[in-house]
Amino acid sequence: MRLWTLCAPILALALPASAQQQDYTAANADRQAMLDRLGIGEIRAGADGFNPNAPNAANYDEAKAGTPELPPLLRTNAGLPVRNSKYWDRRRREIVELFDREIYGRVPLTAPKITWNLVREEKAVEAGIAVTKRWIEGVADNRAWPRASTTIAVRYTLPESDRRVPVILSFGFPEGFKFPGPPRPADPGPPYTEQLLKHGFGYAVVVASSIQADNGGELKTGVIGISLQGRPRGPEDWGVLRAWAWGASRAREALAADAKVDARRIGIEGLSRYGKAALVAMAYDPHFAIGFVGSSGAGGAALYRRNFGERMGNLAAGGEYHWFAGNFLKYAGPKTEFDLPVDAHMLIALSAPRPLFIGAGTVDTGDGWVDPRGSFLAAVAASPAWTIRGAKGLSSTVFPPELTPVTGGTLAFRQHRGGHNNRDNWPSFIAFAVRELGR
Ligand code: GCU
């Protein structure tokens, strides 16, 4: 029972304000239209994460999670074994195609061009370090469909240096954004931004909602809306996670154009839904040099095929379906997750051989919903993609106890205490990044 009392409130807090306060009327209508287009009558209910007595209560019992067989990583769709890096490149393209078609959707050719402007610049001292802060905006070209528009907001801080500096780009919220409800207790220890600066890194934030709103009722605007030019979204068109990842790639290009930034050392970070987006960004953009994917759960690093925490039905519900391609809905009814041609290990594998750090909170500190062990098992199953590229995947195949970094390879995993956040894993991630990228 202890688990439940811990889980529910932390989960509620974890939801960004946008999700808590949103009106899903328009989203539900859009979702229904997609279900009609796909000829789907009914979607299975997801897991109930709040009521432990519900018939569909979320499972947090490892004995009931199942030991699913996964689609093979190193075997082509035609069943041929993938034995070397040349064949991996081909297999990789097959996997990307499957994720495009069935999970995240395709970026249409009509995705808008983004033009960047410098909005403001300041010199400052942060944590005793001289820094330059810049605010830039990426205006989407909407001449083909002026009824939709968007301006991508990015802010970043670079430590003064004679050399170009590495930068970690995070998916985040508008400046000054506060979660609703009582103020949260201050974080113990220095903020991650300070930790990054002390290690010679710059930090940047791209406001996810400025790329695309986190609501299925708003798909007619943002970069998705511009690209659709008034059409409804087709079953293979991009969902919001793909759009966020695409926007982060545009932000990466803008950062790379700054003479003070080391374009070859730009990483991507995110928590929860933004952790999913960070993993998608790593998968689709080979120019991200490193990834920190925190508590990304179902639709991110956790295996769909395990029954633990969040399930397909949750992802396909009115508040989340828009993260995915329309086709994804099929797997929440009539098909199931066992019919998926992919699982999370194949998404993780798309980052190989670049360094990738997967984190989660422990189940008993309230992060069970994201299935920490399911993310670890996915990473284990993804490791051969590093090996085939001549790198080292996870350094252990044994699920580590909390606070035990598995960072001996280029694919890393750690469970922190303290629930649904990335805060407690930043020091471990930064040590990994310093080792993998250099200062
Ligand atoms: C919900 C959702 C998760 C998501 C999380 C978040 O809990 O079910 O999939 O990651 O919100 O982004 O906060």
Alpha-carbon distances of 272 from 1, 165, 276, rounded to whole Å: 24, 27, 6
**Ligand 1 pocket, 302 CB below 6 A?**
no
**How many whole angstroms separate alpha carbon 136 and alpha carbon 100?**
30
**Ligand 1 pocket, 14 CB below 6 A?**
yes
Nearest ligand 1 atom to the CA of 272 is: 10
Nearest ligand 1 atom to the CA of 299 is: 9
Looking at residue 231, its pLDDT comes to 96
The DSSP symbol for 287 reads T
Alpha-carbon distances of 286 from 12, 290, 308, rounded to whole Å: 34, 10, 31
Tell me which of 310, 311, 321 to substitute to probe ligand 1's pocket, judged by most ligand atoms within 8 Å of the beta carbon.
310
Angle, alpha carbons 399-400-405 (nearest 5°): 130
Looking at residue 186, its pLDDT comes to 76
Q: 272 C-alpha vs ligand 1 centroid, how far in Å?
A: 6
Q: Which residues pair with 156 in a beta bridge?
A: 134, 204
**How many whole angstroms separate alpha carbon 270 and alpha carbon 8?**
22
In 3D space, the residue among 166, 323, 168, 354 whose CA is nearest the CA of residue 248 turns out to be 168
pLDDT digits (tens, 9 = 90+) for 208-231: 999 999 999 999 999 999 999 999
Looking at residue 8, its pLDDT comes to 38
pLDDT digits (tens, 9 = 90+) for 291-344: 999 999 999 999 999 999 999 999 999 999 999 999 999 999 999 999 999 999
Tell me the angle at which helices 372-388 and 85-98 cross, rounded to the nearest 10 degrees: 140
Alpha-carbon distances of 316 from 33, 230, 326, rounded to whole Å: 14, 24, 9
Q: Above 50 in pLDDT, residue 408? A: yes
User: Do the beta carbons of residue 266 and residue 169 sit within 8 Å?
Assistant: yes
In 3D space, the residue among 415, 408, 336, 431 whose CA is nearest the CA of residue 377 turns out to be 415
Strand stretches in 146-211, DSSP E? 151-159, 165-172, 202-207
User: Do the beta carbons of residue 163 and residue 393 sit within 8 Å?
Assistant: no
Read off φ and ψ for residue 125, nearest 5 degrees. Answer: -125, 125
Q: Above 90 in pLDDT, residue 260? A: yes
**How many whole angstroms separate alpha carbon 357 and alpha carbon 375?**
11
**Ligand 1 pocket, 310 CB below 6 A?**
yes
Residue for token pair 């002026």: 146
Nearest ligand 1 atom to the CA of 15 is: 13
Helix ranges, 217-343 (H):
222-228, 240-256, 273-284, 312-315
**Ligand 1 pocket, 301 CB below 6 A?**
no
User: Do the beta carbons of residue 56 and residue 48 sit within 8 Å?
Assistant: yes
Mean of per-residue pLDDT scores for the chain: 94
Q: Above 80 in pLDDT, residue 185? A: no
- The sheet with strand 151-159 has its strands ordered as 114-126, 129-140, 151-159, 202-207, 165-172, 261-271, 290-294, 356-361, 411-416
Nearest ligand 1 atom to the CA of 296 is: 10
Looking at residue 183, its pLDDT comes to 81
What residues contact residue 36 under an 8 Å CB cut-off, 6+ apart?
A: none
Looking at residue 439, its pLDDT comes to 53
Q: Above 90 in pLDDT, residue 32? A: yes
Q: Above 70 in pLDDT, residue 16? A: no
- Kindly give the pairing relationship between strand 356-361 and strand 411-416: parallel
Nearest ligand 1 atom to the CA of 298 is: 9
Query: Averaged over 68-88, what is the pLDDT?
Result: 97
User: Do the beta carbons of residue 52 and residue 368 sit within 8 Å?
Assistant: no
Q: What percent of the chain has pLDDT over 70?
A: 95
What residues contact residue 101 under an 8 Å CB cut-off, 6+ apart?
A: 236, 325, 327
Q: 270 C-alpha vs ligand 1 centroid, how far in Å?
A: 12
CATH superfamily assigned to domain 2-177+189-437 = Alpha/Beta hydrolase fold, catalytic domain (3.40.50.1820)
Q: Where are the domains of the chain?
A: 2-177+189-437
Query: Averaged over 355-374, what is the pLDDT?
Result: 98
Which CB contacts under 8 angstroms, 24+ apart, belong to 188-194?
A: 190/127, 192/422, 192/423, 192/426, 192/430, 193/126, 193/157, 194/126, 194/127
Nearest residue CA, atom 2 of ligand 1? 273
